[in-house]
Structure 1
Amino acid sequence: MRERSHERRIGFVGIGNLGESMVLNLLERGWEVSVLDRVANRLDRVRAAGAAVASDLSDIKDHDIICLAVPDDDAVTQIALGPSGLLGHMQPHQSLVVHSTILPTTAQLLAEQFGAAGVAFLDAPVSGGAHRARRGELTLMVGATKEALAAMASLFSEVATDVIHLGEPGAGSATKLANQLMMFSALAGAHEALSLAAAYGVAETDALKAFSTSTGDTWVGRNWGFFDDVAAEYNRTGTPVTDRPWSKDLAEAVMAARSAEVGVPFAALLTQLLPGLVEEHARHATFTHLTKGATDE
């Protein structure tokens, strides 16, 4: 294990599929991490690896950096702004980092509120999936001031191989939702394409092999089976279907577009079609692939 070259402590809220891998990576790299999750058994692995388990937000409110990887806007807002939330307790030397996929307007609101209190706020959703998170090889899409981002350099360099500064808070969330829309558009197309090939007797694996060296090549095709694994993990942790990225993130993309008065008719269609396709395929999957690829928390 690498020796710790700094004295900062991290409070990490949300130990789900992605959060667990991020915390395990940070612990191995010598960070001192306190963890909090509403589902107690999600903390078992990180506790065994050396994380301190917090009983509530009051146990982490004085940590230098507090990271959130909770499911949605409601959870983020409650933790940040609720009656016992972080806003009333954090000090100007602290930073709040939101890795959750949230609406750009939510990120802007939080940045305004915490900025008024002198607390650095970073809108920093991730892409890469649990395997890359475990290796510290995520992509971070960051909306923050340059000063706030610079202060996170030692942390982000151990979480991600690509840290992309996209602008002020809200820009990270907007880019993450746009990324999800591109990926899930390809995923829906892949399901339909494979169904078409199967109708003419072509095996799924053979069609995918053909796509991989053709103009139909996509990340989802090269990592087919990734979402089966993710769905299985969500089943293990009891994550509702409505909180899974192929449901929640697409719905948020439509909401963000509506707020910005941008037409996204294909995204609206995907919200109706894709969740069923992903869940049905996962239920009937007969193989599991380890992948290198990317999605949310």
Structure 2
Amino acid sequence: MAQEIDRTTTTIGFAGLGNLGRPMAESLRRDGWSLKVLDPEPARADGLEADVVDGPRDLAECGVIALAVPDDEAVTEILGELVPLLAAGSVVLVHSTILPGTAQRLAREAEDQNIGLLDVPVSGGAERALSGSLTVMAGGREEVLAQARPVLDAVAETVLHVGPSGAGAAVKLANQLMMFAALAGAQEALDLAGAYGVPEQTVLEAVSTSTGDSWITRNWGFFDRVAAAYDEAGTPVRNRPWSKDLWDVVAAARESDVQVPLGGLLAQHLADRVEAHTRKGSSS
């Protein structure tokens, strides 16, 4: 079995310094890892003690590659250029939310080059990313996960091995569907109570000790803050989780012949509701 990755001899190539990527990179630096970072907007690396590179090929000498880029296309493009250049025994960590089928294909292609690849999407938000307390859902070979644990432990409080390649991506999409279903229900419920003159906070206080309690209601305002961060970064709505991830749910379900009528409904309308709620909050 390959030995654990050693922070004293390994440089991590980190691609994607967005809402989650930047604080994850900061957690890695705080844990003592050396970084080379890649982002279409190099200014996102300002203040981060890391070498900023121009393209994927500049990460070829890194023993670990971590990706927190927006989607399947970006992950595939970077790894298509980079994997053939990596040394045998290197490890690729795909933190991006991608389709399970994409994760399986990328793992096979990496294996052909004697590279270990894990689909390791994360959950918890930017604040937990910065504190190194995310949850990681890991899909892939157990020996590769054991090798990569020191890196993952720097960004996560909980690392779960959920199955073979593609399983991490599948569990992340399952999490997103549950979360966004709860969010849609909470928004409609608050609109209903509001029509009878009941303020949001009053409803949230009432449900906090009732059967309607959920992570969504306990963290109300979370998605308003995330949307505001995306606005500041100029991230298109179609690339935000309440749009992109829900369409990934529908695509993954179609690929596996599973019916997700609620997921399809949410993919059609939730993004508009999230964005409208954020605008309402910023104008009040």
- Shift in Å, 1:271: 0.6
Q: Provide the secondary structure at the position in 2 that maps to 1:86.
A: helix
Match of 1:212 in 2: 208
Alignment gaps of 5+ in structure 2: 1-5
Aligned to 1:223: 219
* Partner-residue secondary structure (3-state), 1:282: helix
Question: Taking CA–CA contacts closer than 8 Å with sequence separation of 6 or more, which of the two structures ends up with the larger relative contact order?
Answer: 1
Aligned to 1:130: 126
What displacement does 1:127 show?
Answer: 0.3
2:193 pairs with 1:197: yes
Deviations along 1:199-254, whole A, 9 cap, x unmatched? 11100110011111110001111111000000010011111100000000000001
1:9 Cα deviation (Å)? 0.9
3-state SS, counterpart of residue 84 of structure 2: coil
Counterpart of 2:273 in structure 1 is 277
- Judging changes above 3 Å, is the alpha-carbon distance between structure 1 residues 65 and 225 closer, same or farther for their aligned structure 2 residues? same
Report the Cα distance in structure 1 between the residues aligned to 2:48 and 2:67, rounded to whole angstroms: 20
Contact in 1 for aligned 2:19/2:229 (Cα 8 Å): yes
Alignment match of 1:14 (pick from 10, 16, 24): 16
Show CA shifts across 1:137-161 (max 9, x none). 0000000101100001111111111
Query: 2:161 aligns to what SS in structure 1?
Result: strand
Question: Post-superposition shift, 1:41?
Answer: 2.2
* Partner residue, 2:78: 79
Match of 2:104 among 78, 103, 108: 108
Aligned length, in residue pairs: 279
Tell me if the contact between 2:36 and 2:53 (Cα under 8 Å) persists in the aligned partners: yes
User: Aligned residue for 2:56?
Assistant: 57
2:151 aligned with 1:155: yes
Distance 1:171 1:5, change over 3 A: closer
Task: Map 1:84-103; keep pairs closer than 5 Å.
Answer: 85-103=81-99
**Runs of 4+ that moved beyond 2 A:** none
CA contact (8 A) 1:225 1:287 kept: no
Q: Give yes or no for contact 2:63–2:87 (8 Å, CA) kept in 1.
A: no
* Corresponding residue for residue 27 of structure 2: 25
Q: Is the 8 A contact 1:26 1:158 kept in 2?
A: yes
Q: What's the counterpart of residue 292 of structure 1?
A: none
- With normalisation by structure 1, the TM-score equals 0.92
Residue type of the alignment partner of 1:33: L
Identical aligned residues as a percent: 51
The amino acid that maps onto 1:6 is T
Task: Give the aligned residue type for 2:29.
Answer: L
**Separation in structure 2 between the aligned mates of residue 40 and residue 131 of structure 1, nearest angstrom:** 22
Whether the 8 Å CA contact 1:42–1:237 is kept in 2: the answer is no
SS in 2 for 1:285: helix
